[in-house]
């Protein structure tokens, strides 16, 4: 029997919480740290969390596919594919900063339909299903209205990535025009936008497991989630979450870099 979108959302919430909660066994405690071939950090907490979530998916939905940051791809040609990032913001995690998250996105026939962002150390869990709204800890998520950069709070993860990808001029202009900029980044920055705590968040680089959970949540909270050319996608390798009134003026700064 086919599983409905709301049922997938409920399962994703349960599985994200189960996996994310395992990270608390290591957070601000002892963990093993390694560096991958791309020099990005990974811990045994990442691997434990992803294995927990994968085992739950395989038990309850054995016909579904999985793409995860730590353990790769399985059955990815399935109509339903779970996209996993067990710890998004590993740099925050290893430095004892509680802004890391566990992410689950679900693609149905290649379309991002369900997203969960769970911040275990903060006890905040946001979820959304396209057409069914977005909520965090039982409260509806809603982006705040903002249509002027001079009044906007701008978030990012690591400003060095802008110059690495040819966006240094865009960053400089946005910093000059915005009210305030902070690096409450990674997925938590996108959650800040969806929750109406900030006005836009830019990631010059991200993978599908970073993005898949974000699009449904930002979109269902009334926001805009696109790449830096304005296309609604999780595949381009960069992303903008924004209050709709700011989208056009932000993207203007990136057109000259195409």
Determine phi and psi for 86, rounding to 5 degrees: -65, -35
Is 120 in the same domain as 167? Answer: no
Is 76 in the same domain as 194? Answer: no
Within the chain, which residues score under 70 in pLDDT?
1, 256-258
Q: What is the pLDDT, as a whole number, of residue 257?
A: 45
CA distance 64 to 73: 11
What is the phi-psi region of residue 203: left when phi exceeds 0, alpha when psi lies from -120 to 50, beta otherwise? beta
Is 111 in the same domain as 179? Answer: no
Is 173 in the same domain as 131? Answer: no
Is 136 in the same domain as 153? Answer: no
Q: What is the pLDDT, as a whole number, of residue 255?
A: 79
Instruction: Report the CATH number that the domain containing residue 225 is assigned in CATH.
Output: 3.40.190.80
What is the phi-psi region of residue 129: left when phi exceeds 0, alpha when psi lies from -120 to 50, beta otherwise? beta
Is 72 in the same domain as 123? Answer: yes
The residue ranges of DSSP E strands in the chain, in sequence order, are 33-35, 41-43, 65-68, 72-74, 80-88, 101-108, 111-119, 124-129, 134-136, 139-140, 153-156, 180-182, 200-203, 224-226, 239-242
pTM (2 decimals)? 0.95
Please write the tens of the pLDDT for every residue from 41-88. Answer: 889 999 999 999 999 999 999 999 999 999 999 999 999 999 999 999
| Domain end marker among 140, 175, 193 | 140
| Domain end marker among 110, 140, 170 | 140
Return the half-sphere exposure (C-beta side, CA atoms, 13 A cut-off) of residue 234.
23
What is the tally of structural domains in the chain?
2
Q: What is the pLDDT, as a whole number, of residue 243?
A: 97
Q: SS3 breakdown of the chain: % helix, strand, coil, rounded to 5?
A: 35, 25, 40
- Residue 139 buriedness (CB in 10 A; 0-12 / 13-18 / 19+): exposed
Bridge partners (DSSP) listed for residue 74: 66
Q: What is the pLDDT, as a whole number, of residue 258?
A: 42
Q: Among candidates 126, 125, 181, 129, which has minimal Cα distance to 157?
A: 181
Return the half-sphere exposure (C-beta side, CA atoms, 13 A cut-off) of residue 118.
25
Q: What is the pLDDT, as a whole number, of residue 1?
A: 58
Is 35 in the same domain as 109? Answer: yes
Is 38 in the same domain as 108? Answer: yes
Residues 130, 5 contacting (CB under 8 angstroms): yes
Is 246 in the same domain as 121? Answer: no
Is 219 in the same domain as 120? Answer: no
| Domain end marker among 140, 157, 190 | 140
Is 173 in the same domain as 209? Answer: yes
Q: What is the pLDDT, as a whole number, of residue 142?
A: 98
Q: What is the pLDDT, as a whole number, of residue 139?
A: 97
Instruction: Report the CATH number that the domain containing residue 55 is assigned in CATH.
Output: 3.30.540.10
Is 216 in the same domain as 233? Answer: yes
Please write the tens of the pLDDT for every residue from 150-176. Answer: 999 999 999 999 999 999 999 999 999
Q: Which two tokens stand for residue 231?
A: 């296309």
Range of the domain at 239: 149-255
Longest dimension (CA), the chain: 54
Q: Residue 112: which residues within 8 A CB-CB, separation 6 or more?
A: 105, 106, 130, 212, 215, 216, 234
């Amino acid at each position: 029997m086919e599983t409905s979108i709301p049922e997938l959302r409920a399962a994703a919430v349960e599985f994200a919480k189960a996996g994310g909660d395992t990270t608390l066994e290591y957070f601000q405690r002892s963990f093993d740290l390694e560096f991958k071939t791309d020099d990005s950090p990974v811990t045994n907490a990442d691997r434990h969390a992803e294995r927990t979530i994968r085992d739950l998916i395989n038990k309850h939905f054995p016909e579904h596919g999985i793409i995860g940051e730590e353990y790769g791809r399985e059955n990815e040609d399935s109509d339903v594919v779970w996209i996993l990032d067990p710890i998004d913001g590993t740099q925050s995690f290893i430095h004892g900063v509680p802004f890391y998250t566990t992410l689950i996105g679900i693609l149905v026939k290649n379309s991002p339909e369900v997203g969960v962002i769970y911040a275990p150390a903060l006890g905040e869990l946001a979820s959304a299903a396209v057409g069914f709204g977005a909520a965090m800890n039982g409260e509806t998520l809603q982006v705040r209205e903002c249509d002027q950069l001079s009044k906007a709070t701008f978030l990012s993860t690591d400003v060095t990535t802008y110059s690495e990808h040819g966006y240094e001029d865009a960053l400089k202009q946005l910093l000059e025009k915005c009210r305030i900029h902070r690096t409450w980044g990674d997925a938590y920055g996108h959650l800040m936008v969806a929750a109406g705590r900030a006005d836009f968040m830019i990631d010059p680089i991200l993978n599908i497991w970073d993005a898949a959970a974000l699009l449904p949540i930002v979109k269902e909270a009334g926001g805009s989630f696109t790449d830096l050319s304005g296309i609604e996608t999780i595949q381009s390798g960069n992303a903008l979450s924004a209050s709709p009134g700011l989208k056009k003026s932000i993207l203007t700064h990136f057109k000259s870099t195409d």
